[in-house]
Amino acid sequence: MGGEKSKPKPEEPPLLDEPWRKINSGDKQHDLQYVRDYKPQTEGQQLRILLHGPAGAGKSSFINSVQSVLLGRMYRQALADNISHSCFTKKYSTFRIQRENPDTFYPFILNDIMGLSPQKGVQVDDVKLAFTGHLKEGYVFNPGSKLSEGNEFYNKSPTVNDKVHVLVCIVPAHTLSSMSDETVQKIRDIRLEASRLGIPQVAILTKVDQACPEINKDLKNVYRSKYMKERMEQFSADVGIPMNCIFPVKNYHEEIKLNDDTDALILSALRHIIDCGEDFINWKAE
Ligand SMILES: Nc1nc2c(ncn2[C@@H]2O[C@H](COP(=O)(O)OP(=O)(O)OP(=O)(O)O)[C@@H](O)[C@H]2O)c(=O)[nH]1
Ligand SMILES: [Mg+2]
């Protein structure tokens, strides 16, 4: 009577047997050397990497993480914040990264900006002005209006080094599915303008440690987690950035020592960013 009760399906394992993208701690030394040896083909050229993304996504923390990996110790130059729920970074700031020798720097720089937020964040038009080098260092973003040409922070004659060579969208992995339509639209809008100018784009999904328990337990699971892969595919479909330009990362935010697995993910993303920027410069120069 009533037939046989259907057996509960065995739960699908959350991890793939093999990682779908190969990365291991051994890659760390390889990628680290690659970044250390990187020299733009064009003499005097500087690669400008602009970060953007929702408020609190980990933009400033990513800058600190990159600096920490390259310096081999914890570094906290870009102020990150863990209490403000709105935009903490307010200024257009440039971060250079020092090499081991004092007064020598890597030939790439990172620009931090105010976060995208539905009401109070950075104006999309200001991000577009940064692309073409019209935003001067130190400009304090005004969420109510875009920078006008008459403003002292408007750079009327940008040089090739003032222009952006790679756009990096930083988004927290654990809240990807709840990102507002307005924020997704802003990311798309910024991306379309970058594409129009030919600027390559990379996305970094931060806070992977908060995205799923398996990654929290062991960062090596990041490319084995089915959940993470689905989130990346969804994000790719939502904003149009191809999967091979999306990199999951855990920033240094609470630790006091470097970790090889954390470094390997950061360096894998950084190496790709540098390659994209270098290709763009050479393509422009042709
Ligand atoms: N668990 C975890 N926390 C992170 C990670 N990256 C950043 N955080 C934390 O997230 C919070 C916000 O980081 P910020 O780097 O200030 O973010 P932001 O994008 O610069 O934020 P705004 O300047 O407000 O736009 C801080 O508390 C960081 O410690 C990460 O990979 N994992
Ligand atoms: Mg910030």
- pLDDT one-digit tens code per residue, 198-253: 999 999 999 999 999 999 999 999 999 999 999 999 999 999 999 999 999 999 99
Taking CA atoms only, the protein residue closest to ligand 1 atom 29 is 253
Phi and psi based region of residue 12 (left: phi greater than 0; alpha: psi -120 to 50; beta: remaining): beta
Mutate to test the pocket of ligand 1, among 219, 253, 259 (most ligand atoms within 8 A of CB): 253
CB of 209 within 6 A of ligand 1: the answer is: yes
Per-residue pLDDT at 83 exceeds 60:
no
The DSSP-derived string for 88-145 is ---B-EEEEEE-SSTT-EEEEEEEE-PPB-TTTS--HHHHHHHHTT-BPTTPBP-TTS
Ligand nearest to the CA of 93: 2
- Residue 1's pLDDT band (cuts 50, 70, 90): very low
- Residue 25's pLDDT band (cuts 50, 70, 90): low
Fold of domain 46-285? Rossmann fold (3.40.50)
Taking CA atoms only, the protein residue closest to ligand 1 atom 26 is 82
For the chain, the distance separating the N- and C-terminal CA atoms, rounded to the nearest angstrom, is 78
Secondary structure (3-state) at 207: coil
Ligand nearest to the CA of 53: 1
Give helix 25-37 / helix 59-71 axis angle, nearest 10°. 90
CB of 210 within 6 A of ligand 1: the answer is: yes
**Residues that place a CB less than 5 A from ion ligand 2:** 59-60, 88-89
Instruction: Check residues 281 and 273 and name the one with the higher pLDDT.
Output: 273
At residue 121, the pLDDT reads: 84
Per-residue pLDDT at 2 exceeds 50:
no
Q: Are 206 and 251 in contact (CB under 8 A)?
A: yes
